[in-house]
C-alpha cells in the first residue's frame, strides 16, 4: 500500500525558500504569482494491505521523523 505524506510550514512561519522561488518566477515573467509556499512530499511503500494500519503508520512516521511538528503540519493520503 502507498502512503503519501505532504509536509508544509504552518501558517505564520516564514518560508525563505518559497519567497526565493516566488522572486525567481517573477523574474522569469510569471507576474501573476503573488505567494509561494514550499513543501515536501514523501511517497512510502508500506508492507500492509490494511488502509487503517497504513494511515496510522504513516502518521506516526510523520510525527516522529518526516515533519517538525513545531513549525510544520502534515497530511497523509493512502492509495492502494
* pLDDT tens figures, 43-52: 999 999 999 9
Mean pLDDT for all residues in the chain: 97
Contact 22, 35 (CB under 8 A): yes
Which residue ranges make up each domain of the chain?
A: 2-79
Its CATH class, for the domain covering 2-79, is alpha beta
Report in angstroms the alpha-carbon separations of 35 from 12, 24, 26, 41, 47. Answer: 13, 12, 10, 19, 38
SS3 of residue 46 by DSSP: coil
Q: Is 3 helix (H, G, I), strand (E, B) or coil?
A: strand
Grid coordinates representing 22 are 516566488
The model's pLDDT over 15-72, given as tens digits with 9 standing for 90+, comes to 999 999 999 999 999 999 999 999 999 999 999 999 999 999 999 999 999 999 999 9
Running DSSP on this structure, what letter comes out for residue 66? I
* pTM metric for this prediction: 0.90
Residue 80 pLDDT > 90: no
pLDDT at 11: 96
Amino acid at each position: 500500500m502507498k502512503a503519501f505524506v505532504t509536509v508544509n510550514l504552518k501558517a505564520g512561519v516564514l518560508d525563505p525558500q518559497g519567497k526565493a522561488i516566488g522572486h525567481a518566477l517573477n523574474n522569469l515573467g510569471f507576474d501573476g504569482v503573488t505567494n509561494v509556499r514550499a513543501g515536501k512530499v514523501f511517497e512510502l511503500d508500506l508492507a500492509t494491505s490494511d488502509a487503517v494500519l497504513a494511515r496510522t503508520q504513516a502518521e506516526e512516521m510523520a510525527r516522529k521523523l518526516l515533519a517538525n511538528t513545531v513549525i510544520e503540519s502534515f497530511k497523509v493520503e493512502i492509495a492502494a
